[in-house]
Amino acid sequence: MAYAITRTCCNDASCVSVCPVNCIHPTPGEPGFGVTDMLYIDPAACIDCGACADACPVDAIFPVDRLAGPDVPYAELNRRWYEENPTDHAWGEPEFPRSLPDGFGELSVAVVGTGPSAGYTAQLLLRTTGARVTMIDRLPVAGGLLRHGVAPDHQSTKRIGESFATTFQHPALRMHLGVTVGEDLTHEDLTAYHHAVVYAVGAAGDRRLGLPGEDLPGSLPATTLVGWYNAHPAVPADAVDLSAERVVVVGNGNVAVDIARILLTDPDELGRTDIADHALAALRDSRVREVVLLARRGPEHAAWTRPEFLALTHLAGVDLVVADEPGVREAIAAATAATAATAATAATAGSKAGSKAALLAGLPVEPVDWAAAPPAGRRRIVLRFGVTPLELLGDARIEGLRVAEPDGRESTVAAGLVVRSIGYRGVPVQGLPFDEAAGAIPHAAGRVIDPATGRPRPATYVVGWAKRGPSGGIGANRDCARETVDALLDDAAAGLLPTPARRIQDFAGLVRRRRPDSLGLRQWRAVDRAERARGASTGRPRVKLATVPELLASSRRLRP
C-alpha cells in the first residue's frame, strides 16, 4: 500500500532525499518546487518502504490505508497531482556536501535571526563546514515565525522546531537574544568579529490598503492579530477587541484562513495548544459569530492552499458558505467541469488554475444581507469574491466597510473589526540596502547587492523572506538557505571573505557591554523549561510567557 503526504506538509523536502525510487515531487530544482501547495507521492511508484514517513519533520506522511478524518482526501490529491504533472522519476545530478578549501582555517559567521531560515542556515554551516556560528535576535525568545507566526492549532508544523533545537545545542553555536542589529550593534560590529554575516530577519511589516479610515480603532493588520494569539512580546494583550459579531478579513491567503479558523474554533480545542493565555480568555468571551474573507478576484484565483482550505471544511460547529456574487456560480461550475475533464485527459493550464475554485463545489452559495447582523445560530465563515474595498467606515471606531461590487455597484458591510491580510512586508535594516518596491533586501543568489554599484557587498548575505519576499512556507527556507550558504562558501573558497579584525571569542563581551540584559542559550533554555512546565500542568505543549519582563524573569531561573 502506498504512502500519501497530508495537510501538514512543510515542503522542506526532507522526504525527497531519502526516497529510494525518487517518487516524491516536486523536488528542489524542479519548476514546481516552492510554489506548489505541498509535495506529493506517486502511488504507482511508491514501494511502501516508509523512509519518507520516518524522515518527515512534521509527521505529514502516512500509509493510504491508515488515513482517517480530514486526511482521507489526500490519497486522491496525491494521485491526481501525477495525472496533472506526469514524471518519469528520473534522478537529477547528485549533490555532495560542501566544504572549505584546505588551509582556510575556522570560519565564523553571524546569523541575524533565529527563525526557520536562520535555523536552516545554521544547520548547513555547522554540518558541512565546522563553522562557528553566532545567532542574534531582537526578541528575547528564539523561533521567529515558528513561535510567532504558525497558528497555535498547527502543532504538528511546529515540530520542525525540534531539529532547530538540536542545532541550537551545538557546541560551536552561540546565541544572543534581545539584541537589535542596527541599534545595539552595527553591521560593522558584526563584520569586525566574523568572516561573514547572513541576515535572516524575515518580513515583520505589513502591507497597507491605503484607504480612508484605515487607522480607526478596530482596523488591524494581520501581523497584530497573529502576534496577539501567538504571544508576541511586542503585541499587548488588549490589542484585539472581539466584541463585534462580524469580522471582515481583507484577503484570502493562508494567513487570512488561519485568522478565520482561530476566531471561530471552539476555545476548548484551542485550550490544548500553545495559544497565548490572554487570547484564549478573549476567545472564550468572544461575540464573533461570522468571519468574512473578502477577495478582490474570483474564486479561480483563491490564494489559500488546498490543505488550509480543506481544514476549514472540517471545522466543528462552523458553516462554510460562499456569498452569492455575480459570476461566482459560473466560475465554480467552470472549474468543476475542467477538473472533471482533467481526471480523464492531460491537464491544461486552465484546469490547473481553476482547480481551487472546484474545491468550492458543494458548498452553499447564498445571498447575504451585509447591512444586517449575522444570522442567529451557528457560527460561519463566508467566502466573498470579486469585491474591492473602498473605505473603512466609522466615527470613534470601525463600524463597517464600503466596497465595490463586481457589477460596479457599491455596498456597505457592517463589521466591528476589519483585518487586512494582504501580505507581509520586509522592513529595512540600518546600514543595508532595501528594495522598497519588493519589500526585501536586494540580492543575487543570496549575496546582498549594493544598488549604487550593482555589485555584491563584501561578506554580506540574506536568506528567507528578507531575501525573496514573503512567499513560500517554512520548508521553502531550506532550499533558500542552501543557495545562500553555497554563495558564502564559494566566496570563502575564492578568498573574498575578509579576515575579521577581532577575535570571535571576544564578541560576547561586546554584546554584554552594549546590551547587559541580553539572553544567551542557557537563559533561553530556562525560559523554554518554564513554558513547558506551565503547559505540562494543564495538558498543553507549553504556556507561553507573553511579555518581556516575564521572559527576563524566567530566564534568570537557571539550573545550578
Listed by start position, the domains of the chain span 3-84, 108-204+426-518, 208-423
Per-residue CA distances from 489 to 104, 126, 368, 508, 547 (Å): 11, 13, 58, 25, 39
First-last CA distance in the chain: 52
Half-sphere exposure of 156 (CA within 13 A, CB side): 10
**pLDDT computed for residue 408 by the predictor:** 86
- Average pLDDT value for residue range 135-140: 97
Q: Which of 306, 331, 315, 421 is nearest to 385 (CA)?
A: 331
| Contact (CB, 8 A) for 527 and 131 | no
CATH number of this structure's domain 3-84: 3.30.70.20
The span from the CA of 45 to the CA of 482, in Å, is: 28
DSSP label at residue 140: S
342 pLDDT above the threshold of 70: no
Fold entry, domain 208-423: FAD/NAD(P)-binding domain (3.50.50)
In this prediction, residue 340 has a pLDDT band, given cuts at 50, 70 and 90, of low
Helices vs. strands in the chain: H and E counts, helices first: 18, 23
- Average pLDDT value for residue range 268-283: 97
pTM of the model: 0.92
344 pLDDT above the threshold of 60: no
Computed from CA positions of residues 59, 64, 68, 74, in that sequence, does the dihedral angle turn out positive or negative? positive
**pLDDT computed for residue 406 by the predictor:** 86
- Least confident residue range of 214-218, 299-303, 480-484, 530-534: 299-303
1.10.10.10, 3.40.50.720, 3.20.20.80, 3.30.300.30: which CATH number matches 108-204+426-518?
Answer: 3.40.50.720
Please give the mean pLDDT across all residues of the chain. Answer: 91
**pLDDT computed for residue 531 by the predictor:** 95
- Average pLDDT value for residue range 298-304: 90
